[in-house]
Amino acid sequence: MSIVAIPLIGAGLAFLAVSALGLFRLPDLYTRGHAVAKSETLGLLLIFGGLFFHPALTPDAAVRLLFVLAFAMIANPTAVHALLRAARRSGQRPWHAKEGDV
C-alpha cells in the first residue's frame, strides 16, 4: 500500500471507533446521533480517501468509490437528521444532567 493510504485508513478507523464509543457512552438519542453523524461521515471520507491511493485501484473502481462516497456523504447526515427530527416530534426529550450526575 502507499505511504499515504495507510495513515488515511488508520485515521478513518479511529474516527469510526470514536463513533462506536459514542454510541455506548453518550446518554441519549440526540447526543448519540450527533456523534454518529459527525465522526462516521468523516471516518468514511478518510477511509475512502485512503482507498483512492491503493496501488491496485482501477479507474472504474475509483468511479464507483466516488459514487458510494457521494451517496454516504449525503445520506448519512440526512438520515440522522430525519431520525432525530422524528424522535423530537414523537415527544422524545433530550437528557438533562442533574446536579449529582456530572
Asked whether residue 95 carries a pLDDT value surpassing 90, the answer given is no
Summarize pLDDT for 43-83 with one digit per residue, the tens: 999 999 999 988 888 999 999 999 999 999 999 999 999 99
**Eight-state DSSP code of residue 57:** -
Q: Where are the chain's structural domains?
A: 5-89
Confidence of residue 101 (pLDDT cuts 50, 70, 90): low
The letter for the amino acid at 82 is A
Which residue is it, cell 500500500?
1
Q: Is-above-0.75 flag for pTM? A: yes
pLDDT for 99 equals 67
Summarize pLDDT for 26-37 with one digit per residue, the tens: 888 999 998 888
Length of the chain: 102
Q: How many CA atoms lie within 13 A of 70 on its CB side?
A: 6
d(CA 69, CA 43): 11
Question: Which residues, in sequence order, are CB contacts of 92 under 8 Å at separation 6+?
Answer: 29
